[in-house]
């Protein structure tokens, strides 16, 4: 397979590719942004790269017109016009401005595009765009669609700026309840951030936000409450945790003004189910087709982790406080699943050393959620970590130092404890739903692992430390961001709203906060060992 080498000051990056796409497409699909505003047709002249090594075809017509003679002599080309067939080395000249948004690559989307669904155009003489928005506690994900062609144009992911008001949802709800100005500021800040992401996608593809005629939004309950200026009091009282929460958008004018969409655009905020179970979970159930097979389990890992179990006639749902462990946002050596993050760890048989796989192949800057699961499982297997979460031997006092140039990468006892508590909440939540449905973990037919965390998850390691039920590997599906995928289904096929409503009507909420069985199973699930089967009899 040929290699595209992106040369820069720190040595560059090598990207294997299958011949066919342009350099611009290869870069974008690898998470590397480059300036552009013409959707890759060679009209804007912004995606400049210098060819440093390798053969390319002759200049295209647009390059002959827009490039200066000096640029041509310097081997400057348009990334969108160069279609490499063999090894090629380039240096990016047209770097974009630094952004708080990250370009999502094709592997991060689980909903296919282009798809067969066609949306009737109210204005067939022009492009009509749609925007999908998944608002999570830690991350916000966006995707921009050409509704006429039922085709995804671009995607972005970024850290939710609400973190300034607290890492957890309760801190943000308390802040919003305490002040009308803070409540409004949180909503406007979040909408402003989404607007920046939308504008970025539009600029990069030669489009205008004013072409957006439809916006679909899903999210967890707390996020939707704050976005719609709804009273957060219900979520701060246990009595409201199993009640239906109304997050109706009374006046879409604020959204239209801040997002700068078509004045007649439709803003559809999908209502949460109840309490701490949002429309993001329902969107995930919709996308995975969870109700197609009895005893199917969905786990959406995140700061607020949500769980759903379909028993064949009823959808049982709950949420557990996963905390920041799965997002790695408050793990000392943690970082998102981005270039520089350790995503996989293994210990070859007979070797005392661990091997680390880093996203992008560069020096490790930190470890993401899937890498954390692998590292803890490897430490358990090697005997360096006890079942109770205590590091042994030379690591007992200092923590486990991850080998490499960055000596600050240390897995501490605090990090392990944080992970254990998050894991215990998920495990006990799963067991509580199974007890309610009178089923055992081994009887599960499907286990859908959702969220950014699950994209690179090693299933064997996750089962070994009790993060997932101990079922056959072929029953476990790594589904990615199903909340965004379900939102895309609602955007491109508005009739799917009926299916969402049927799920909502057929769902029962289990409140774990006052469940004695959950409390007893939480303590048991703190241990770093496989989840037990049939514990409730």
| pLDDT tens digits, one per residue of 296-305 | 999 998 878 8
Q: Within 10 A of 408 (CB to CB), how many other CB atoms are there?
A: 10
Residue 250 pLDDT exceeds 90: no
Q: What is the pLDDT of residues 387-402, one digit of tens each?
A: 999 998 888 878 888 8
Residue 113 pLDDT exceeds 80: no
Return the structure tokens found at 522: 């939480």
Name the pLDDT band for 323 (thresholds 50, 70, 90): low
259-272 CB burial, b ≥16 within 10 A, e <16: bbbbeebebbbbbb
The reply to whether 137 and 246 lie within a common domain is yes
Closest to 162 (Cα-Cα) out of 240, 216, 103, 232? 232
The reply to whether 348 and 446 lie within a common domain is no
Residue 94 pLDDT exceeds 70: no
238 is a domain residue:
yes
| pLDDT, position 116 | 36
Q: Are 220 and 280 in contact (CB under 8 A)?
A: yes
The reply to whether 120 and 182 lie within a common domain is yes
335 is a domain residue:
no
CATH number at residue 48: 3.10.20.30
Angle formed by the axes of helices 180-204 and 169-178, nearest 10°? 120
The reply to whether 170 and 216 lie within a common domain is yes
| 3-state secondary structure at position 15 | strand
333 is a domain residue:
no
The reply to whether 236 and 375 lie within a common domain is no
Q: Which domain holds residue 381?
A: 341-411
The reply to whether 142 and 235 lie within a common domain is yes
| Average pLDDT of the segment spanning 195-214 | 92
331 is a domain residue:
no
CATH number at residue 159: 3.30.420.480
| Higher pLDDT among residues 73 and 332, named by residue | 73
Percent of the chain with pLDDT over 90: 53
| Average pLDDT of the segment spanning 423-437 | 94
The reply to whether 164 and 254 lie within a common domain is yes
The reply to whether 454 and 491 lie within a common domain is yes
174 is a domain residue:
yes
| pLDDT, position 180 | 85
Residue 97 pLDDT exceeds 80: no
Residue 181 pLDDT exceeds 60: yes
Which of the listed residues 388, 411, 434 is the one where a domain comes to its end? 411
535 is a domain residue:
no
Which of the listed residues 252, 276, 300 is the one where a domain comes to its end? 276
Residue 87 pLDDT exceeds 90: yes
Residue 362 pLDDT exceeds 90: no
| Average pLDDT of the segment spanning 86-100 | 83
The reply to whether 402 and 462 lie within a common domain is no
Q: Are 465 and 261 in contact (CB under 8 A)?
A: no
| 3-state secondary structure at position 525 | helix
In this structure, of 63-72, 236-245, 367-376, 510-519, the range with the lowest mean pLDDT score is 236-245
The reply to whether 122 and 223 lie within a common domain is yes
Residue 120 pLDDT exceeds 50: no
196 is a domain residue:
yes
| pLDDT, position 119 | 40
Q: Are 15 and 6 in contact (CB under 8 A)?
A: yes
| Higher pLDDT among residues 171 and 208, named by residue | 208
| pLDDT, position 325 | 67
DSSP one-letter string for 443-493: G-SEEEEESGGGGG--HHHHHHTTSS----GGGEEEEE-HHHHHHHHHHH-
| pLDDT, position 197 | 96
In this structure, of 119-128, 226-235, 263-272, 412-421, the range with the lowest mean pLDDT score is 119-128
| Average pLDDT of the segment spanning 478-501 | 93
Which of the listed residues 384, 411, 438 is the one where a domain comes to its end? 411
The reply to whether 88 and 17 lie within a common domain is yes
| pLDDT, position 469 | 94
Give the per-residue SS3 of 370-413: HHHHHHHHHHHHHCCECCCCCECCCHHHHCEECCCCCCCCEECH
**Distance between first and last Cα of the chain:** 54
Give the chain's count of helices (H) and strands (E).
Answer: 15, 22
Q: What is the pLDDT of residues 41-52, one digit of tens each?
A: 888 888 899 999
In this structure, of 31-40, 59-68, 174-183, 492-501, the range with the lowest mean pLDDT score is 31-40
CATH number at residue 516: 3.30.420
**Mean pLDDT taken over the chain:** 87
- Residue 51: φ, ψ to 5°: -80, 115
How many structural domains does the chain have?
Answer: 4
Name the pLDDT band for 118 (thresholds 50, 70, 90): very low
| pLDDT, position 11 | 61
Give the list of residues 6+ apart from residue 442 with CB closer than 8 angstroms, or none: 469, 470, 471, 533, 534
The reply to whether 222 and 296 lie within a common domain is no
Q: What is the pLDDT of residues 277-291, one digit of tens each?
A: 899 999 999 999 999
Residue 96 pLDDT exceeds 80: no
Q: What is the pLDDT of residues 23-43, one digit of tens each?
A: 998 988 887 878 777 777 888
| 3-state secondary structure at position 251 | coil
17 is a domain residue:
yes
DSSP one-letter string for 215-232: EEEEE-HHHHHHHTT--G
Residue 496 pLDDT exceeds 60: yes
């Amino acid at each position: 397979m040929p290699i595209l080498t992106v040369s820069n000051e720190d040595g560059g990056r090598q990207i294997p590719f299958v011949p066919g796409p342009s350099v611009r497409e290869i870069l974008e699909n690898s998470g590397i942004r480059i300036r552009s505003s013409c959707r890759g047709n060679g009209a804007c002249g912004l995606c400049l790269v210098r060819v440093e090594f390798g053969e390319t075809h002759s200049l295209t017509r647009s390059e002959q017109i827009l490039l200066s003679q000096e640029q041509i002599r310097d081997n400057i080309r348009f990334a969108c016009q160069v279609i490499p067939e063999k090894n090629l080395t380039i240096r990016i000249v047209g770097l974009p401005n630094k952004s708080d948004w990250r370009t999502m690559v094709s592997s991060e989307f689980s909903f296919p595009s282009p798809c067969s669904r066609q949306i009737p155009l109210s204005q067939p003489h022009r492009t009509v765009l749609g925007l999908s928005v998944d608002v999570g506690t830690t991350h916000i994900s966006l995707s921009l669609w050409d509704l006429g062609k039922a085709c995804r144009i671009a995607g972005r992911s970024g850290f939710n700026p609400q973190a300034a008001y607290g890492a957890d949802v309760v801190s943000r709800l308390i802040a919003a309840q305490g002040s009308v100005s803070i409540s409004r500021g949180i909503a406007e800040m979040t909408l402003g951030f989404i607007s920046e992401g939308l504008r970025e996608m539009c600029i990069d593809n030669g489009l205008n936000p004013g072409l957006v005629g439809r916006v679909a939004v899903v999210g967890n309950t707390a996020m939707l409450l704050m976005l719609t200026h709804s009273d957060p009091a219900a979520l701060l009282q246990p009595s409201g945790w199993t009640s239906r929460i109304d997050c109706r958008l009374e006046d879409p004018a604020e959204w239209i003004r801040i997002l700068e969409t078509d004045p007649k655009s439709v803003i559809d905020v999908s209502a949460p189910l109840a309490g701490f179970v949002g429309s993001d979970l329902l969107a995930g159930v919709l996308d995975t087709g969870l109700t197609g097979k009895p005893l199917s389990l969905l786990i959406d890992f995140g700061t607020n982790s949500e769980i759903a179990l379909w028993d064949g006639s009823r959808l049982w749902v709950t949420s557990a406080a996963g905390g920041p462990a799965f997002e790695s946002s408050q793990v000392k050596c943690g970082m998102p699943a981005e270039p520089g993050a350790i995503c996989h760890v293994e210990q070859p048989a007979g070797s005392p050393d661990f091997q680390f796989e880093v996203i992008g192949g560069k020096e490790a800057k930190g470890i993401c959620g899937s890498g954390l699961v692998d590292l803890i499982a490897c430490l358990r297997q090697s005997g360096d970590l006890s079942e109770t979460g205590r590091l042994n031997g030379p690591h007992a006092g200092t923590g486990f130092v991850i080998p490499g140039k960055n000596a600050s990468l240390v897995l501490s006892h605090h990090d392990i404890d944080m992970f254990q508590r998050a894991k215990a909440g998920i495990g006990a939540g799963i067991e509580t739903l199974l007890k309610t449905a009178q089923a055992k973990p081994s009887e599960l037919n499907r286990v859908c692992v959702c969220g950014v965390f699950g994209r690179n998850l090693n299933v064997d390691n996750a089962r070994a430390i009790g993060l997932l039920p101990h079922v056959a590997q072929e029953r476990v599906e790594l589904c990615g961001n199903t909340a965004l995928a379900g939102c895309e289904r609602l955007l491109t096929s508005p009739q799917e709203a009926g299916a969402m409503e049927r799920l909502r009507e057929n769902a029962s909420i289990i409140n774990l906060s006052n469940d004695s069985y959950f409390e007893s199973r939480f303590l048991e699930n703190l241990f770093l060992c496989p989840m037990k089967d049939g514990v409730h009899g």
